[in-house]
Amino acid sequence: MPKKKITKKKIIKTKKMGARAKTVKQAVLPLAPAIPPKPPEVPQAPRGMRDILPADEHLWHAVKKEAEELSNGFGYGFIETPILEHKALFARAVGTVTDIVQKEMYCFKDQGGDELCLRPEATAAVARAYVNHGMLNLPQPVKLWYLGPFFRRERPQAGRFRQFHQWGLEALGDSHPVLDAETISIALAFFRDLELPVKLEINSIGCSQCRASYKNELVKFYTPKQELLCDACKMRLQINPLRLLDCKEAQCELLREGAPQITDFLCEACRDHFMHVLEYLDEAGVSYNLNPYIVRGLDYYNRTVFEIFPVASDDGKQKTEDRTEGEHGGEKKEAELNEDEENPSPVLNLLSSGAQSALGGGGRYDGLIEQLGGRSTPAVGFSLGLERIISYMRSRGFSPVSGRLPRIFIAQLGDAARRKALLLWHELRKEVPAVASLSKDGLKAQLEIANRLQVRYAIIIGQKEILDKTAIIRDMEAGIQEVVDYNKIVGEIKKKLAGDA
Ligand code: HAM
């Protein structure tokens, strides 16, 4: 019987076994080269949020240390409130028609249905804690300080982040004007101690009575010009006319010329209070600029309000009119920053670009605690923005506090020396910060690291030193080495560093 001819087509058909048969033509088409899978994208920090790296450690250390020393030195007690709070707290305290509450809070419903927010500021939470913990029964005023991260979903730009840090003080339970001067003078002492020139802009926005008549005048002043206002100010005219004053749109700044000033509308008690604040500041040697356009963007303020700005080193008398925009305004004029962009000197850029640059702000909030359900309790405080302060320090070439930087490197050769070096490191660091690269084997590699870290001395331990119970101290600048008794190393190093100082 003649053999059946087996064709290529048939083989393919058989292999497919029930699958839709392909034609030979289709089957022999060359396969398209496989597209290599895309490597997964490296996760980035959320927009407007940054890592704080060791390169800036000395700056963070300096500001935190100064903040802590001043807070303790003036008898303020530390308070740490939760990072999350009920959304309603900020709506009630900061105000439902403020930028912070309307646009900038990170809020979510948790699994239990609670509406929570990442805290955008501290004052509301401190006031809540004051009521919750019955601090009204403590000797008044209660003085508290805090330092930590805060969150506002603002448009990132130079000096404006979505996660930033504040140091702040609050003095609750006393309306005396000397407390306004006390808190302001402490804020300014911070900058003085860190040798950062700043200027204080101060105003009084009076009480609700004086503000009511002032707002009427302001509306009367702006209404005929309303078509010329920016869109945000058209809204402000309806809902919060005071905020018209700190808009940084060019046309709105022009329209502001000749606007009535709040200080002309202060009632006797508010005027008297403000005069006393200024007198106390004068007595304390604090200089200030009276600035009728400081109104602040949080609704809880009354009477004294203030902001602190950097001063360009080549222009010690930056004019009030050149002042950069208020903390809570300025939708335009934003030199928006790519979130990856590391701006070497944002504050200097800010000074010249007209972007956001208040280093801190604060004021009196006598109605807040009552508004939150507590008894009527006057209070005053401020917060400083640490990222902006650190940029400012960097721009002024702030040098590291040398005592904090490691000045000693421990190098070892061989496993016995490595073990001895670990023990020595523990002994040494109690007296002097030291570094080592214990996983490295070669002396050359270790001394290269020591050089990169710019340490002053390296302590070297090898096999011979282990046997002799000695160590070598190498002066990294002079390249000179000496052998010392192992038990005397710590003392010798301390002596040398003291001699260098
Ligand atoms: P504030 O003016 O909103 O006031 O913030 C105070 C400081 O925090 C600002 O001057 C600025 O340096 C810094 N800051 C604010 N937002 C940002 C941001 N997005 N990025 C970087 N820094 C920022 C308050 O928070 C009030 N709780 C101050 C206060 C305390 N009033 C009475 N007691």
Q: CB neighbours (10 Å) of residue 212? A: 11
C-beta of 48 in contact with ligand 1 (< 6 A): no
* Residues 296-305: tens digit of each pLDDT: 988 999 999 9
> Cα–Cα distance between 385 and 193 in angstroms, integer?
16
**pLDDT value of residue 248:** 81
**pLDDT value of residue 404:** 58
C-beta of 385 in contact with ligand 1 (< 6 A): yes
C-beta of 99 in contact with ligand 1 (< 6 A): no
For residue 440, the enclosing domain spans 408-500
* Residues 36-95: tens digit of each pLDDT: 888 889 999 999 999 999 888 889 999 999 999 999 999 999 999 999 999 999 999 988
> Cα–Cα distance between 48 and 408 in angstroms, integer?
37
Domain-ending residue, one of 367, 396, 425: 396
Using DSSP, state whether 374 is helix, strand or coil.
coil
How far is ligand 1, taken at its centre, from the CA of residue 254, in Å?
Answer: 26
C-beta of 121 in contact with ligand 1 (< 6 A): yes
> Cα–Cα distance between 135 and 142 in angstroms, integer?
7
Counting from 1 in the atom list of ligand 1, the atom nearest the Cα of 121 is 25
Domain-ending residue, one of 346, 376, 396: 396
How far is ligand 1, taken at its centre, from the CA of residue 56, in Å?
Answer: 21
**pLDDT value of residue 348:** 45
Residue 59 sits in the same domain as residue 151? yes
Determine contact, residues 198/191, Cβ cutoff 8 Å: yes
Determine contact, residues 261/244, Cβ cutoff 8 Å: no
Residue 328 sits in the same domain as residue 422? no
In a domain, 218, yes or no: no
Weakest-pLDDT range from 7-16, 101-110, 210-219, 420-429? 7-16
Counting from 1 in the atom list of ligand 1, the atom nearest the Cα of 161 is 20
Q: CB neighbours (10 Å) of residue 70? A: 18
C-beta of 387 in contact with ligand 1 (< 6 A): yes
Query: Element (H or E) spanning 471, and its range?
Result: strand 470-475
Residue 330 sits in the same domain as residue 463? no
**pLDDT value of residue 461:** 97
Number of folded domains that form the chain: 2
C-beta of 168 in contact with ligand 1 (< 6 A): yes
353 has pLDDT over 50: no
In a domain, 106, yes or no: yes
Counting from 1 in the atom list of ligand 1, the atom nearest the Cα of 328 is 3
CATH number, residue 463: 3.40.50.800
Nearest CA to ligand 1 atom 18: 160
Weakest-pLDDT range from 99-113, 193-207, 393-407? 393-407
- DSSP code of residue 35: P
Nearest CA to ligand 1 atom 23: 385
> Cα–Cα distance between 206 and 305 in angstroms, integer?
9
In a domain, 370, yes or no: yes
In sequence order, the β-bridge partners of residue 336 are: 157
Residue 373 sits in the same domain as residue 413? no
Residue 141 sits in the same domain as residue 95? yes
In a domain, 121, yes or no: yes
* Residues 261-272: tens digit of each pLDDT: 999 999 999 999
Counting from 1 in the atom list of ligand 1, the atom nearest the Cα of 389 is 12
C-beta of 329 in contact with ligand 1 (< 6 A): no
> Cα–Cα distance between 121 and 361 in angstroms, integer?
12
Domain-ending residue, one of 331, 364, 396: 396
Residue 140 sits in the same domain as residue 101? yes
**pLDDT value of residue 247:** 86
How far is ligand 1, taken at its centre, from the CA of residue 7, in Å?
Answer: 82
Between strands 480-485 and 470-475, the pairing is antiparallel
Residue 89 sits in the same domain as residue 150? yes
How far is ligand 1, taken at its centre, from the CA of residue 327, in Å?
Answer: 7
Determine contact, residues 197/205, Cβ cutoff 8 Å: no
Residue 82 sits in the same domain as residue 127? yes
C-beta of 154 in contact with ligand 1 (< 6 A): yes
Nearest CA to ligand 1 atom 3: 327
At 21, the pLDDT band (50, 70, 90 cuts) reads: very low
Q: Which structure tokens are listed for 377?
A: 């309790």
C-beta of 182 in contact with ligand 1 (< 6 A): no
Q: Which residues of 402-435 are buried (b: 16+ CB within 10 A; e: fewer)?
A: eeeebbbbbbbbeeebbebbeebbeebeeebebb
Ligand 1: which of 79, 180, 186, 327 to mutate, judged by most atoms within 8 Å of the beta carbon? 327
1 has pLDDT over 70: no
* Residues 140-174: tens digit of each pLDDT: 999 999 999 999 999 999 999 999 999 999 999 99
Q: CB neighbours (10 Å) of residue 112? A: 6
Residue 136 sits in the same domain as residue 275? yes
How far is ligand 1, taken at its centre, from the CA of residue 385, in Å?
Answer: 6
In a domain, 177, yes or no: yes
Q: Averaged over 360-364, what is the pLDDT?
A: 98
Q: Which structure tokens are listed for 199?
A: 């200027």
CATH number, residue 368: 3.30.930.10
* Residues 115-138: tens digit of each pLDDT: 999 999 999 999 999 999 999 999
How far is ligand 1, taken at its centre, from the CA of residue 358, in Å?
Answer: 8
In a domain, 25, yes or no: no
Q: CB neighbours (10 Å) of residue 51? A: 6
15 has pLDDT over 80: no
Nearest CA to ligand 1 atom 1: 361
| Strand ranges in 318-462 using DSSP code E only, listed in sequence order | 360-364, 379-385, 408-412, 434-436, 457-461
Residue 301 sits in the same domain as residue 429? no
Determine contact, residues 167/254, Cβ cutoff 8 Å: no
pTM assigned to the model: 0.82
18 has pLDDT over 50: no
Residue 385 sits in the same domain as residue 299? yes
Residue 76 sits in the same domain as residue 164? yes
In a domain, 224, yes or no: no
C-beta of 180 in contact with ligand 1 (< 6 A): no
In a domain, 415, yes or no: yes
